[in-house]
Amino acid sequence: MLALQRQRGWIGAGIVGLVCLVLVGVGLSAYWAEKQRKGLRELEDGVAALQTGDVDRAAAQLTLAEHHLQAEGNEYLMQLVRLNQGYVAERQGDLSRAQQYYEASADMDGPAKSEALLATAHVLTLTKDDTGSVAMYKKFLEQAPESPVSELVRQKVGDK
C-alpha cells in the first residue's frame, strides 16, 4: 500500500512538472511573439520616418527594431533593418557606415539582397571606389539577371 502511495505521489509530481514546463513554453512563445511584433512595428515606424525625412527618428526606431528582431528566424526582417540603417547612414553623410549596413544586408539571404547589392555599389561609386563598385554591380547581375534594372546596370559596367 505504501509503495502504491509513493508511486501516485511520483506520478502526481511528474504531471505537475509537465504542466509547469508547458506553461513556461507557452509563456516564452508569447514573449518571443510579442518581441517580434514590437520589432516589426518599430521597423515600420523607422521606414515611415525615413520616407518623411525624419532621419533621427528613423535611426532611433531602426535601432529599437534591431534590438527586438535579433532572434533566430528573423533574418528577412533583419535584412530590411540593415538596409534601412544604411539608407539612414547615407542620408546622414556617413558613407562608410552606410556601406557596412548595406554589405551586412547583402550578405543575408532574402528578397532585399539585390537592393542591398545595388545600394552597396552606389555607395562605392560615391566614395570613388570604381573597382569595388563594378564588382558589386556584377554581383547584382549574377543575383538578379532578370531584374528590371539589369540592362541599366549592364550598360553602367559595360557588360552586354
Q: Give the residue extent of every domain in the chain.
A: 37-157
- The answer to whether 131 and 121 are in contact (CB under 8 A) is no
Q: What is the pLDDT of residues 78-117, one digit of tens each?
A: 999 999 999 999 999 999 999 999 999 999 999 999 999 9
CATH code for the structural domain at 37-157: 1.25.40.10
Q: What is the pLDDT of residues 58-72, one digit of tens each?
A: 999 999 999 888 866
End-to-end CA distance of the chain: 89
Local structure of residue 32 (DSSP, 8 states): H
- The answer to whether 127 and 103 are in contact (CB under 8 A) is no
Share of the chain above pLDDT 70, in %: 77
36 band by pLDDT with thresholds 50, 70 and 90: confident
Is pLDDT at 9 greater than 80 in this prediction? no
- How many helices (H) does the chain have, and how many strands (E)? 7, 0
- The answer to whether 46 and 67 are in contact (CB under 8 A) is no
